[in-house]
């Protein structure tokens, strides 16, 4: 095990936490041998403290004696663990700005934020400091940074990967995930973590209500993805509104209410014991969470169950849906906080779809004509994670090849 003074990474983007500068060697052989990875500072690594983005948490929780099971899976596959990365405090944000550890630099768009809460993991991958990185996705904390940072990212089927040994936010939505800059590495990790399935998409859908929440910059890549899938699958696209009879804003409300109530039940006693030094925006979210009534939470959970079943019925076993990964480009680092919050609300109305349904969603990285990153996603049935990754990679490569041939 390499100690902090010998940390081999030149952290040019502020991706790593001060207590996360160490190396753990993986197995001598395995499918991931030769690859390096970092883990979001929510996951336990034996002998190293877990900080969850907050110094008070770091100071009041014992150093773990065991690795999180997901960390063990990757080490056993031969990957080399290279440190722990910055997260928004208790993962309760999509912005990627931590008042204690800073805002990691987005190498793909230095004037813009990385997004969060898996900010350090996304930053480390975008800057090629590691080959892949582990994050989490509760309300979009992998899909959004992946979209902002021009990298691959997946929200896994809920429950697919072990969440033990990781600090939770909302257990009913939390998903361990991973990022990679290289598509082949992204799939290579997927072959270790996700099972093969018989998923073969035969129906293609475009979620109009999600697309309407995104800026116009997403129109061209969305259309390109749909057209490419129509050709490759040999099907026509069905345009529909996922929230027909309701609205994605109402879905976002159900997600936020149910999640906030559960988050407060998990952490409320610790938060209330004394001032934990949260950033104002995150402190405000915890205050709001403390006020969610049991009745309101029960109603939101019931709504979640209805949405979950609706989306699973919609996709069936052979459907694939296209939607934007976020509502906009990454906000600028000096953006007005009110603007940032408005963008967050629009984005969460998009990302809540997969969260409420517990379904896998993979981000395909694209860039706008001015070079700003943005992502388009594929949403698939439960358990289709690995096949969905392969479909997304093939689709993105076909689009890029067509673009290069036409230029």
- pLDDT tens string 41-82: 999 999 999 999 999 999 999 999 999 999 999 999 999 999
Predicted pLDDT of residue 407: 57
Other C-beta atoms closer than 10 Å to the C-beta of 10 total 8
What does the pLDDT read at residue 405? 78
pLDDT tens per residue, range 376-405: 999 999 999 999 999 999 999 999 998 877
Which of 40, 93, 119, 328 is the catalytic position? 40
Distance CA 34, CA 123 (A): 21
What CATH class has 203-406? alpha beta
Distance CA 2, CA 189 (A): 24
* Cβ partners under 8 Å of residue 187, min gap 6: 386, 389, 390, 393
Q: Which of 118, 119, 121, 141 is catalytic?
A: 141
Q: Which two tokens stand for residue 300?
A: 């939101």
- 241 contact partners, CB below 8 Å, separation of at least 6: 207, 208, 209
| Cβ(152)–Cβ(135) below 8 Å | no
In this prediction, residue 406 carries a pLDDT of 72
CA dihedral 80, 360, 399, 124 (to 10 degrees): -30
Residue 290: how many other CB atoms lie within 10 Å: 14
Nearest to 94 by CA among 335, 325, 348: 348
How does the average pLDDT of the chain come out, rounded?
A: 97
The per-residue pLDDT for range 114-148, each reduced to its tens digit, is 999 999 999 999 999 999 999 999 999 999 999 99
Domain with CATH 3.90.1300.10 in the chain: 4-193, 203-406
Pairing of strands 36-40, 132-137: parallel
Architecture per CATH, domain 4-193, reads as Alpha-Beta Complex (3.90)
The per-residue pLDDT for 55 is 98
Active site residue 40: yes
Residues of the chain with pLDDT under 50: 1-3
Of the residues 84, 93, 117, 304, only one is catalytic, namely 117
What three-state secondary structure class fits 198? coil
Task: List phi, psi (to 5°) of 403.
Answer: -65, -45
The CA distance from 329 to 292, in Å, is 32
Number of alpha carbons in the 13 Å side-chain half-sphere of residue 146: 34
């Amino acid at each position: 095990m390499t100690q902090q003074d010998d940390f081999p990474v030149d952290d040019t983007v502020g991706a790593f936490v001060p207590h996360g500068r160490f190396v753990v060697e993986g197995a001598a052989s395995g499918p991931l041998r030769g690859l390096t990875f970092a883990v979001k500072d929510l996951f336990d690594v034996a002998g190293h403290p877990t900080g969850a983005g907050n110094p008070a948490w770091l100071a009041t929780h014992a150093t773990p004696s065991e690795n999180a099971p997901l960390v063990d899976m990757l080490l056993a596959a031969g990957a080399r663990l290279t440190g722990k990365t910055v997260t928004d405090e208790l993962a309760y944000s999509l912005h990627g700005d931590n008042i204690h550890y800073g805002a990691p630099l987005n190498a793909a768009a230095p004037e813009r934020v990385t997004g969060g809460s898996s900010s350090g993991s996304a930053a480390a991958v975008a800057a090629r400091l590691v080959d892949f990185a582990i994050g989490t996705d509760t309300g979009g904390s992998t899909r959004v940074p992946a979209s902002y940072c021009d990298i691959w990212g997946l929200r896994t089927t809920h429950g697919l990967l072990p969440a033990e040994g990781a600090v939770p936010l909302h257990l009913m939505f939390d998903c361990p995930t991973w990022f990679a800059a290289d598509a082949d590495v992204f799939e290579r990790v997927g072959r270790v973590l996700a099972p093969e399935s018989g998923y073969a998409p035969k129906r293609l859908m475009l979620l109009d209500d999600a697309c309407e929440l995104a800026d116009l910059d997403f129109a061209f890549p969305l259309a390109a993805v749909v057209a490419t899938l129509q050709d490759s699958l040999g099907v026509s696209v069905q345009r529909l509104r996922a929230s027909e009879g309701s609205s994605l804003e109402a879905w976002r409300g159900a997600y936020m209410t149910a999640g906030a109530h559960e988050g407060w039940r998990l952490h409320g006693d610790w938060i209330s014991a004394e001032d934990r030094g949260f950033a104002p925006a995150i402190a405000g979210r915890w205050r709001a969470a403390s006020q969610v009534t049991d009745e309101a939470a029960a109603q939101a959970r019931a709504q979640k169950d209805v949405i979950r079943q609706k989306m699973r019925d919609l996709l069936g076993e052979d459907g694939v849906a296209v939607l934007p990964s976020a509502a906009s480009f990454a906000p600028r680092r000096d953006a007005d906080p009110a603007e940032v919050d408005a963008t967050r609300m629009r984005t969460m109305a998009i990302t809540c779809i997969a969260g409420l349904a517990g379904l896998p969603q993979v981000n395909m990285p694209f860039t706008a004509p001015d070079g700003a990153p943005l992502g388009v996603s594929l949403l698939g049935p439960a358990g289709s994670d690995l096949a969905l990754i392969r479909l997304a990679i093939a689709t993105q490569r076909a689009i890029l090849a067509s673009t290069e041939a036409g230029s």
